[in-house]
Structure formats: structure tokens, C-alpha cells
Structure 1
Amino acid sequence: MSLPALRRRGGRTTAGPGRDPTGARHADDLRLVVPAVAAWLSVGLLIGVVDGAPALPVVVAVAAAVSASLLLLLARARGALVALALVGVSLGAGAVGLHAEPREVEALIQAADERGAIEARVEVTETPAVGDRHLAVSIVAVRAVDGSWTPVAVPAVAFGRAERDPGERSDARVRIGVMLEGRVRVERAVPGDRAAFLLFADGKLSERAAAAPVVGGADALRAAFTTLASSLPGDGGTLLPGLAIGDTSRLDPTLDAAMTAASLGHLTAVSGANCAVVVGLVLAAARACGAPRGVRSAAAVVVLGGFVVLVTPQPSVLRASVMCAAVLLAGWSGRSSRGVPVLALAVLVLVLADPWIAREYGFVLSVLATAALLVLAPPLAERLARVVPRGVALVLAVPISAQLVCQPVVVLLEPSVAVYSVPANLLAGPAAPLATVCGLLACVLHPLVPPIATLLASVAWAPSAWIAAVARFFATAPGSQLPWFEGWVGVGVLTAITLAAGVVVFARGRSRRVAGVALVLVTALAIGSLVGDPLVRRMRLPGDWQYGACDVGQGDATLIRDGPAVAVVDVGEDPDRVARCLDTLGIARVSLLVLTHFDRDHVAGADALIGRVDRVLAGPPDTAEDVALLDRFASAGARVDPVVRGEEGTLGRLHWRVLWPSPRRAVEPGNAASVVLHVGPGRACPSCLSALLLGDLGEEEQDGLLRLGAVPAVDVVKVAHHGSRDQSPALYDAASARLALIGVGADNGYGHPTEELLALLAGDATAITRTDRDGLVLVSPGHSGIAVWRERDGASP
């Protein structure tokens, strides 16, 4: 419902936009809000269960439609809003049923159920970050037994590398729209995920067709501009493509983390501000040329469509573009438009056109932030204007309202609260429009007039560098992140605090006093728990732990320790999470760092250890970026060595030996060349535990490891590839581990760990720990076995 600020004139309250002359709110605001929210919620629920119950959406759609009809017949106007909600549910359920059917391809389902492989053609749909070995793709055809190709349209994630043209740099970006072909093993994705299947390439995916002219041309523009921006110095150059066109494929991981920590990540997500700038420029130019209203609107819609193709249809882009298009069409027809109904229309259109967008964080945050600006910011500005000048109040109301509404969702991504979000946005926000406008113009003009494009990019570099500096300053400021409760508990507590604060600000009388007391109590209890819990947990840590698994999300960071000597095997993707784990355990210096391979979920957190490591052992690098990372460790004083099978050494009283990769087998960099480490007790420590750390080794390579020689029986096994299905039962039988460590992220979208892997470990009588449920895991020798300390459950035998 629209809540614009009331204007006070001469002591009388008059209606602002959104009220009729009597002061009543526009009831038609709800005519779209109610069905839009109902459709969104129903879609979000149904896409999580449609795979197991394909008929359910149809049943729900029919039941909701019948209920809405009966309600309108029996209750008439009194049940109008409920009927509208049921209409939204019916539309949402029908959309899920309609869009779910093409995802159910029999050949793919059979291959997934049989753990088999299939020939497939896929089209790349998103630009991956440099060094990533997974691609967002759409499966466009599968090969039948008779050799014919069957066209399909199924979203998926492909793991592997694309075969590049001769002479192309190994770190060159993968182009959107390119058609790839190869033999892939198939797994089902987690229900509710946009990807219906996970594809694991047997070797490289070869390029079979170039992108369509429009898509390829837009991608070439993005690539050229990214290269131009990257030639500019420092953080300003790497950040500029994100600010101008939403391309963060070459954004420095540490700067990316800093932008998130300072709550500035929204600046690199193309959304309403970018669309408004583009549409505004087109309308202004058309008006200056004397074009009539219809021509101006049509030109703006056409340019807006081209802009969406250029920046790629991300969820926030789609939301903003649909809203802009609705406003333009309303203006063309001579009708007025209000923000809340237009936002509701955009939500309704998008969740019906693409149900799987309903659960995407980018879409959720974009809608919530826009709703906050439309609904909460105006009255908040009125309240703030009582204590600060009106202009300052308006400036403050925007970031405050956006953070209040979005923060409960953000904690699902990262359980922390950005303390300096408001000042960071106040300082960085004004610089964003200049970087966006100049950067976008440079991108479009680069093929036509390169000198002007270079000049514009140089102008855009200054505000981009300023935003990057603001992000790094606030991300590293003392107390920049307030740790928060994880999961839905964190969402509930933060929502309660936000609602109580809202009542304190906007209510009066007793309600305000009660809400104020509740706000103080809940906030004090929450902060007390958050501050006190780490201290208590530090007191509970076992002093004799030898192995550990840090909770770094969907990634690996395994610890080995004997006395003061510590080894870290892989570092996950988030430097902050790795640093937090090491700080919790009081680890200031690392004797040995092993980088098993160079996937982002194993090495992107390396910044947390640069300058803290004595020696680095690394699997074979694949790209110039991989080599640069090793050079950074060397420059910081670490001894960097490549590693092959047979290398060995000591860590305190423990002895370690490399089992893979083998110099006798040619393996490509990546999962297949993951460093496998065996750690055993030395002569001075017969009671120490042994371990086998498998990196991301796949089943074929695990069998190859077995053929090279006996895999020793161990106490602890670090499960390969986060518990994927790609495992060798024979290897786990040979290892006969008593305990398994699985580094895996909650709701990871890949289905890790799989039921097959869990059943395999259970069959070998191997106890299971997993970081998504247990958090930090520490393993110690026990009097009668192995003692396991779990961050969330404490110690267990």
C-alpha cells in the first residue's frame, strides 16, 4: 500500500500523492499487491516440491481458482481481497506446473538415476568469474541412443572447462551464448534450485557454435569494456565494469568481499537506478528533438530492451526493466502510475514468467529494497526531519530504510550485520551515478570512437576508485561486522528488532513505550548472546585437537595440527570465514599451506593467509590467475613448491606424504589433479591419528589412486568434492576410516552431500561430520577411540 508523506500546510493536513481529497488511501494499490504477494509466496513454496509431486501445482491452481470464485459469489465485496489472494495462488501454481514440465527430460532423468553419462549440447547463459570451472548453462539438446539430437530447454550448471580457440589466453572469459558440446555425467540439482541438473564434463566441452548475433555482439561489447576498464589502475578499474554494466567477472575477490562487508554490493547489481538513468537520457534526448510522447516512450522501451541484453537479464535488472516499461506504457497512454502498484505488477509478471526467480536472493533483495524506498523512506524522512534538516533527512532515509528491510534476508547469506552500512552508502552513493553514466557510454562508444570511450572510462574511474576506497575503509574498520545468529533464527530475531524499532519511530502513546522496552530487551539479549557465546566456545575448545574442518560454506578448509605446527589444506572461497576460523582457534602462523587445486571454493579465501604462511604446496596451476596467486604468497615470504606424488615431510610429530597426482598419469589441472595427502603418526607419537585428504578427486581418479598402490587404512577421511556422487566405493572401503569430514555449505544447490555418499560411508561404519550442520569440527585422540568436538553440539565420542 502506498504510504507517501503527508504535507502540512497552515496547520491542516492535506493529501499527498496516493490519497484522494478525503484522505482515504487508494484501494486499488492493493488490487495488484495482494495477488502479487500471494503468487510469489505460492511459487516459492511449490518449486521446492514440484519435482516430487508434479501434479500438486495443478491441484493447487484448480482449488484456489474454485475457492476464489465461490468466495466472490457468496461474500461479494467483503471477500474481495481474499479472492484476489486466491487468484494469485492459482496463477502462481499454474505457472509452476506449466514451467516444470519442460525440465523433466526423460533422458536426463535416466542418466541421473543410473549415474550415467550422456552427450549434450549446452548454451552458456552467464559470464563466470575468471578461474571458475562451473558454468550456468541451458541444455539445448541431448543425444539419443540412435545418434539423433533431441531439442530441449533445461537450465543446468556444468562443471568443467570449455575448449578454447588456438592462441586464446587460458584465463580468457567464457562467452555468453556460445554453444558447447561434450559427454557429461548427470546429477539432479536440489529441488527449488534454478538449475534442474548438474553436469560433470568428462574432459573438456568443445565449442560447436558461436553465440547469436545480438547476444554475441552484446557480449563482445562487455568484454571490450571490461578489458578497457582493467587497463585502468587499481581497484577503480576492476570495479568499474560492475558499476556500469553489472559485470563482476574480473572483480578482485578481496574487493568483492569488502563491497559486501560495507553493504555496497548493490552498486554492482544493475537495477532501478541504472535503468532510470538510461530511460531518462533517452527521454531527454527525444524531447530535445521535438519527438511526440508516443515516439519518446517507444524509443525508451527499445533502448531499455537493448540495455537489458547488454547487462544480461539478472533478476534485479528484470525487476527494474519491467517497472520502467510499465511506467513508460502508462505515460504513453496518458495515465498516471504509482510506485507500489507498478512494483507489484513487476513481481507478478516475473514470477509467472519465470517461477524459479522467486527464490533468487538478487530478486528478493531488489524487490524489498524498492518497496522500502517507496513505502518506508518517505515517512521515515518526515520523522527524521524533526531532528535534522529536511535535505539531510531525505538522504539518510534511503539507506536506513533499505537496510532495515533487506538485512533480515542478508543474514541468510552471511550471518553478520554491517555496522557502517549507512555512512558507507552516504559516502559512496553519490559517486555511483557518474561512474554508471560515463562507464555505460564508454562501453557503447568503444567500438565506434575508442578515444572518446577511453576518455569517458578515465572519467568514470575516479568515482569508481572512490567507491572502492570507501568499501575497503569501512570493511576493515574496527567492529565493521557484528556477528549474527545463523539461518532463520537470525532472520526472526532481526525482524523482531526491526519491527519494534518501527513501532518506536512511528507509533505513539503506550504502544511506543512497550515497543521501546521490547526493543531494548531483545537487542541487549541478542548482543549479549553474540558476544558471550564466542568466549564460552573458546573456553570449551579441546586443547589436544589434531584435525579440523572450518565452516567456510561450500568449500574446503581442513586443518592439521601437532603442537604449534599447523597445516591448512585449502582455504575456501571467503577470506573472512577462513580468518574467523583461524582466529577462533588462536592460529596466527601456518607452517604449511596445501592448495589441492585452484577452484574458487578452495583458493579464493587465500587473502586470509597471505603473509602468515611459511611454505605453500600447490597442485598444478591452470591459468595466469593461479600463477599470480602463488607469486603473491612468494612475495609475502612463503616458500612455494609444486607438488607431485611421493613428496613427503613432517609437521611436528606427524608425517605427511603426497599420494596424488602421479607423474606417471597425465591429468589436467582441476579436480582430476587434486593433491591427495596422507597424514600419519610419527615414531614420537604412536597415539596420533591418521588421515586421508582427498581434495576434489573424482571416482575415476580415485580408482587410479588405488591402482597405483594400496591406500592405507586411516582414522579420518576428508571426503572428496564436498560429498558429491562422484566417489569410488573401493577407495573408501580400503581407507576404512572411522570418521569422515565433509566440507559443505548449507543449501548449496548441488545436493552435496548426496544420499549415495552418505549411504556409502554408513556401509563402511564411518561416522559423519559435515560443516553445514556441525559448523567448525575438531578431532582429537580419545581414550577409547576418536573424540569429536562440534561447534554446534559440543564434544562426542
Structure 2
Amino acid sequence: MLEAADHVRVALVRATAGLPGDGGDLLPGLAIGDTAQVSPRLTAEMKASSLTHLTAVSGANCAIVVGLVLWAASAIGLPRMVRLAVALLALVGFVVLVTPQGSVIRAAVMAAVALTAIALGRAGRGLPLLCIAVIVLLTTDPWLARDYGFALSALATGGLLLLAAPIARSIARLLPNRLALLLAVPIAAQLACQPVILLLNPALPVYGIAANLLAEPAAPLVTVLGLAACATAAVLPGLASAIGWLAWLPASWIAAVARFFAHLPGAQSPWPPGVIGILLLIAVTVLALVAVLGGSPARLRRLARAALVVGVVGYLASVAGIHVVTVAGRPADWEFGLCDIGQGDATLIRSGGEIALVDTGPDPKPLAVCLSDLGIDHIDLLVLTHYDLDHVGGTDAVVGKVDRALIGPPSDPGDHRLASELRAGGARVDQVSIGVHGVLGALRWDVVWPPDTGVEPGNPASVTITITPGEGCPACLSGILLGDLGEESQDRLLGLMHPGHVDVVKVAHHGSADQSPELYAALHPTLGLIGVGAGNDYGHPTAKLLGILTANGIRPLRTDLDGMVLVAPGAQPHEAVVWKQKPGGDEATLTGPELTARDGPTK
């Protein structure tokens, strides 16, 4: 059975492979939970708009399968017990097809108990069925309690069973009953699930309910058509492809809804992480339910409403105040920026309103957050130093926003696909080597590595650029960005370019030990920018690298300790103003601006 299920899944992916855009990538996920084709960018957008649950097969999918099988069995006149047995077998087959994940098992057990109750002539009520399913599963496998999919599935179902009806009655005081019910379903699910969602992402999806309201009606259609395509893909691939095109339309709608809401201003509002954040959210949820739902004493409802108003106003004021303080405290003329994107590189250079981005980090989401935080929605020059995931994994966040991209020598088909995606997004893509140059506002950039020949793709061939002030900007800072060059490549670079002093160096390879002390001594920069993840397994930055920086009077600025870093020109030549936002999402813990002069103390 497992082999047959694998064959069916592969057949569905093959039958829908030609479907374009995000809708084609999302279709297998919506139909059978296969998200292998979903890009990191779309995954981040689904999370930001609170639509990820649509690709996690759960109760709705199982209900559709069981309902369709019961309807078909009834249509051909099968006896009642046979109909139930066939539905149960179809449910088992569906679980095998989509793989038995926590959310799927919860829904399947609940459906199986319901079918058994019907067979015994008893009515199955939702809440007892959910309780039986949860107790049976946790007794059988206690580790399911740590499964986010299981927890979210159980909470969403419980929220719908307990909260949807009273919330709908409250909304019906202002809106028609049908519309009230449509609004109540996503509200109930969101309220029940949000405390657990905070563990995955310490932020509130501001537009989550609106996004679900628009996307949910399309989900059953995708599921039914996707299952039809799945059922015919192995034997009638042409028919499966035709059905896939029909399913592509609602799948594309869901993807468009996710993208629209994910890119609205303030799509995710910050919230305290950890246990404190969860307890605060639970308190706010309880206050909201007491304030809105009937059944509570009038005095208690008034107190809850007053507390809720005070809390919401205080929250909005604190978020707005922190944002104002953060933006106001940043140097307006910053030239170099280092995004806090974990273990990876994403370095910004700004001049004259133009933006260059060197590498995109491992994941689109933190890069998108950094760019949005800095008000950047267009990239004039993108440099991908090499193709390791921690340098190109976030590229989806900027596809369609880039004018020109510089890339190094590719080594496999995936590298070529990345270039093709950038071109499809409207970028001019050039594979570069020593000698290519250009301007960015008042700055000049030069490619100083790799050479045309004699270097293997990968770290040794990292595209390395220098930044020098143009004639119109004598106070601008200079810099060099070393990608992931190792000591051997750094020594060869030193022999080729004979560099003099620069103000800023993007330290090579996240501060690994594979460094050339002679190169750093020749560059003698004021600041060393290190893109590195907190608690990384590589030991970056290493003691050797930090020793090299110390020996040459170079001040390290590292994202694991300093968070996002902005560097602006100071009042004197070779003087830099440093602004830091410490990691952890707490924008109140700001340090800076700090003044750093070459060979001088921090003032």
C-alpha cells in the first residue's frame, strides 16, 4: 500500500508539473499535503497571512473524502453497513496517501469514531468525538503532545466546536446570519490556535482572519479537484492534467491572497515571545470572549471591555512608540547595513537613493523583514557571491524587485535555475569576474575576484567587490565584501590587487578560521561586519578570526550579539557612526549611534 501511495503521489506531481506560478506549486500541498514544490518565499507568505494550515491535511480533507465516498456508495445503492465500511477503507487509504502526520491522524481517528458511532446507531457529537480521538492518540503515543500539527489541529477543531456558534450569534447582531457564520469560523480557529502559533512565530498575523475569509471558500474546491486528479493521475494522466488545470484556478487564488496580505504594511505585529507572550495572549483572548459573548453578567462584560480597550490602546501605543524611536534613532545617511538573518550573509550598501544587496541569507522571511524594516522595496544591484544556501536561500524575497544581478560561476543545474528566476523577474543577470565595475549613487563598485580561470566554483570563487567613494562624495566610506573566500583565495586576492586601507570589511565566511592575516593587515579597516547566527554549530566567529581583528585594531560587529547593524559616515574622514539593534525582537534595547574612529577609541 505504501508503494502504491508513493506511485500515486509521484503521478500527481508529474501530472501537475506544467501548471504555472504559485498555483501550480501549491496545488499538491492543498490536495494531499505535499509541499515539496512550494518555494520558501510562498511558504513565508502563507505563514505571514496565517494560511499555512491549508497545506496541512486535517479534518476538512478527511471530511471531504468520507463525504464523497458515502455519497458515491449511496448513489449506487450499497447497503448502509457496506457504505460505512467502504468509507472507512477510503479513509485509511487517504491517510496512507498523505502520510500519517499528527493532524491527519487526529482527523482520521475522529472520523473513524464517528463512522463507528453511526454503524452502532448512535449520534456522534463533535466535542466528545474530539476528546476521544485526543485521549486515544495521546495514550497510544504521548510524543504527539509535542507535535505542532497535532496540537493546532485539535485546537482548531475545538475552537470551531466551542466558539464558532456563540461568536456567530454575537456578530449576527450587526450582520446577516450567513455572513456572521462565515466570519465566526476563521475567528474561532484563530483564537484557539494563536497561543501555539506564537511558539512558531512570535508575532500576530494582523490580516489572518481576512485572509482566511477570502481563501477558505476555495480550499474545498482545490481539495476535491486535486483528489480527482490524484485518483486519475496513474491511469489517465491526460485527464489528470485537465483536472489539474481546473484546480489550478482556486489554488492560484489562495496563493494570490497569501501574497497580497503578506505584503501589506504591518502584516505581522510584534508580540512578546515565550511563556509571557502566550499568557498575555490567553488573557487578551479571554477578555475578548467575555466582552463580546453573552452569558456573562453585564458588569463583568463592561469591566472586560474596559480592560480590553486599555490593553489594545496601550499595545498600539507601545508598538508605534518603539517604531518611532527606532526609526528616529537610525542614522539617516547610513551607507552599509548588515541584516540579522541568522547564519548567513545579507549586506546592504546605500548611496544616492540606490540600494545594493550582497547575498540574501538562508531564508526569504528574515530578509524580507529586514528590507521592510528599512523601507527598501527595490534593489538596484544584487550580488550573489556564490550558491551556498546561507548566501542565496532568501533570494525569493527579492525576485521581481531587482534591476541587475551579478553572479559567480555556477556548478550545478540549481544555480542556473536561480539565474533564470531572476531573469524572469525582470533582472539583468551577468556572470562576472575581475574587472567588471559600475556605480551606485555616489559610490563606485569593482569586482576584484574571481579571476576568469584557475578557481573552482563555490567558496573559492566568491564574487568579491570593493566600494570606493566617488568624486562627489569625499566623506563616504569605503569597503570590501569578501563572501566566503578562504585563506588561499584571500592570499591570491592580496597578490592581485595590493589593497590599501578600507573603512569596512565584510568578514569572510562568517568568521571561520580559514583567513589570511596578511589580507586583513593590508586592508586595515575600521569595522569588520560578521553575519553569524546565534549559537551556531560552526563555532563562528572563531578565536583565530577575532584575534586577527584585534591585532589590526578592527572592531567586530556581529549579528549574533549586535543584531542588525547600520554604518554611516562620521564627521571626519575614516570615521563611522554605528547603530545596532540587538536581536530578539526587542526594539527598545537599542545601542547607538556610536562613533568609531580608525585607531581611536569608541566615544
| TM-score bucket (shorter structure) | 0.7 to 0.9
Does the aligned pair in 2 maintain the 1:661–1:675 contact within 8 Å? no
- Cα deviation code 1:523-562 (max 9, x no counterpart): 1111122223223222211244332112345653211245
2:456 pairs with 1:666: yes
Does the aligned pair in 2 maintain the 1:485–1:530 contact within 8 Å? no
Give SS of 1:620's match. Answer: coil
How far the C-alpha of 1:467 sits from its partner, in A, is 3.0
Give SS of 2:16's match. Answer: helix
Are the structure 2 counterparts of residues 653 and 364 from structure 1 closer, same or farther at C-alpha, using a change threshold of 3 Å?
A: same
How far the C-alpha of 1:638 sits from its partner, in A, is 4.2
2:209 pairs with 1:422: yes
Give SS of 1:230's match. Answer: coil
Question: Of 615, 623, 626, which residue of structure 1 is paired with 2:404?
Answer: 615
Q: Give the partner amino acid of 1:548.
A: G
How far the C-alpha of 1:755 sits from its partner, in A, is 4.3
The equivalent of 2:152 in structure 1 is 365
The equivalent of 1:110 in structure 2 is none
2:266 pairs with 1:484: no
How far the C-alpha of 1:349 sits from its partner, in A, is 5.8
Question: Of 583, 591, 594, which residue of structure 2 is paired with 1:794?
Answer: 591
Q: Give the partner amino acid of 1:779.
A: V
Are the structure 2 counterparts of residues 571 and 683 from structure 1 closer, same or farther at C-alpha, using a change threshold of 3 Å?
A: closer
The equivalent of 2:55 in structure 1 is 268
The equivalent of 1:778 in structure 2 is 566
The equivalent of 1:434 in structure 2 is 221
Are the structure 2 counterparts of residues 758 and 408 from structure 1 closer, same or farther at C-alpha, using a change threshold of 3 Å?
A: farther
The equivalent of 1:752 in structure 2 is 536
Q: Distance in 2 between matches of 1:674 and 1:358?
A: 47
Are the structure 2 counterparts of residues 756 and 774 from structure 1 closer, same or farther at C-alpha, using a change threshold of 3 Å?
A: closer
Q: Distance in 1 between matches of 2:268 and 2:403?
A: 31
- Cα deviation code 1:220-259 (max 9, x no counterpart): 3223212322324554433322211122322355554444
Give SS of 1:571's match. Answer: coil
2:64 pairs with 1:277: yes
- Cα deviation code 1:571-606 (max 9, x no counterpart): 346667545534544556544210123456544544
Q: Distance in 2 between matches of 1:221 and 1:622?
A: 33
The equivalent of 1:515 in structure 2 is 304
Q: Which moved more, 1:680-689 or 1:615-624?
A: 680-689
- Cα deviation code 1:475-497 (max 9, x no counterpart): 45x54725323533654554443
Give SS of 1:559's match. Answer: strand
The equivalent of 2:599 in structure 1 is none
Question: Of 554, 560, 566, which residue of structure 1 is paired with 2:355?
Answer: 566
How far the C-alpha of 1:501 sits from its partner, in A, is 0.8
TM-score by length of 1: 0.61
Q: Give the partner amino acid of 2:7.
A: A
Q: Distance in 1 between matches of 2:540 and 2:141?
A: 31
The equivalent of 1:321 in structure 2 is 108
| Structure 2, gaps ≥5 residues long | 583-589, 595-601
| Structure 1, gaps ≥5 residues long | 1-213
TM-score by length of 2: 0.79
Give SS of 1:251's match. Answer: coil
Give SS of 1:440's match. Answer: helix
Seq. identity, %: 47
How far the C-alpha of 1:263 sits from its partner, in A, is 2.7
Give SS of 2:217's match. Answer: helix
Are the structure 2 counterparts of residues 681 and 391 from structure 1 closer, same or farther at C-alpha, using a change threshold of 3 Å?
A: closer
> Which gives a bigger RCO, structure 1 or 2 (Cα 8 Å, sep 6+)?
2
- Cα deviation code 1:301-355 (max 9, x no counterpart): 4433332332233443233234334444555566665544544555556567666
The equivalent of 2:255 in structure 1 is 468
Q: Distance in 2 between matches of 1:264 and 1:637?
A: 28
Q: Distance in 2 between matches of 1:347 and 1:767?
A: 55
Q: Give the partner amino acid of 2:591.
A: G
Q: Distance in 2 between matches of 1:271 and 1:708?
A: 57
Q: Distance in 2 between matches of 1:314 and 1:720?
A: 41
Does the aligned pair in 2 maintain the 1:568–1:593 contact within 8 Å? yes
Q: Give the partner amino acid of 1:539.
A: A
Q: Distance in 2 between matches of 1:733 and 1:304?
A: 67
Does the aligned pair in 2 maintain the 1:620–1:673 contact within 8 Å? no
Q: Give the partner amino acid of 2:303.
A: V
- Cα deviation code 1:100-142 (max 9, x no counterpart): xxxxxxxxxxxxxxxxxxxxxxxxxxxxxxxxxxxxxxxxxxx
How far the C-alpha of 1:443 sits from its partner, in A, is 0.9
Q: How many residues align?
A: 567
The equivalent of 1:540 in structure 2 is 329
Q: Distance in 2 between matches of 1:309 and 1:629?
A: 34
Does the aligned pair in 2 maintain the 1:546–1:689 contact within 8 Å? no
2:78 pairs with 1:290: yes
Q: Distance in 1 between matches of 2:480 and 2:146?
A: 39
How far the C-alpha of 1:436 sits from its partner, in A, is 0.5
Q: Distance in 2 between matches of 1:767 and 1:337?
A: 68
Does the aligned pair in 1 maintain the 2:502–2:526 contact within 8 Å? yes
Are the structure 2 counterparts of residues 555 and 521 from structure 1 closer, same or farther at C-alpha, using a change threshold of 3 Å?
A: farther
Question: Of 697, 702, 706, which residue of structure 1 is paired with 2:486?
Answer: 702
- Cα deviation code 1:382-404 (max 9, x no counterpart): 43344444443333221111122
Give SS of 1:688's match. Answer: coil
Are the structure 2 counterparts of residues 683 and 378 from structure 1 closer, same or farther at C-alpha, using a change threshold of 3 Å?
A: closer
